[in-house]
């Protein structure tokens, strides 16, 4: 009887270990899939940003487009204080107020 219990325990351990390995492999696969999806989304955002910039350039004056590019650069670099200052300056000029 003890022999059967030991064998059963070994089989149970082997089954458990194989289930753990399968789950681990599935988790790694999901992480990889998630990483790939994240990269695809990032690439799509870059493409759409470039399309939007080209359209904006065609629709606005050179001066306005350059201001937009400057605001985008500051946002991309996370220079939020300068971004806010420039935005307020541009907005006050547009509204005809002096700062």
Pick 72 or 98 by higher pLDDT: 72
pLDDT tens digit sequence for 19-71:
667 677 767 777 777 777 888 888 888 899 889 989 999 998 998 889 888 88
In three-state form (DSSP H/G/I as H, E/B as E, the rest C), the secondary structure along the chain is CHHHHHHHHHHHHHHHHHHHHHHHHHHHHHHHHHHHHHHHHHHHHHHHHHHHHHHHHHHCCHHHHHHHHHHHHHHHCCCHHHHHHHHHHHHHHHHCCCC
């Amino acid at each position: 009887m003890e022999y059967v219990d030991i064998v059963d325990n070994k089989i149970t351990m082997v089954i458990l270990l194989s289930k753990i390995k399968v789950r681990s492999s599935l988790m790694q696969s999901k992480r990889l899939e998630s990483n790939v999806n994240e990269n695809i989304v990032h690439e799509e955002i870059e493409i759409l940003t470039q399309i939007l910039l080209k359209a904006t350039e065609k629709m606005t004056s050179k001066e306005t487009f350059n201001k937009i590019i400057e605001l985008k650069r500051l946002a991309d670099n996370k220079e939020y204080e300068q971004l806010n200052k420039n935005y307020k300056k541009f907005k006050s000029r547009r509204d005809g107020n002096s700062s």
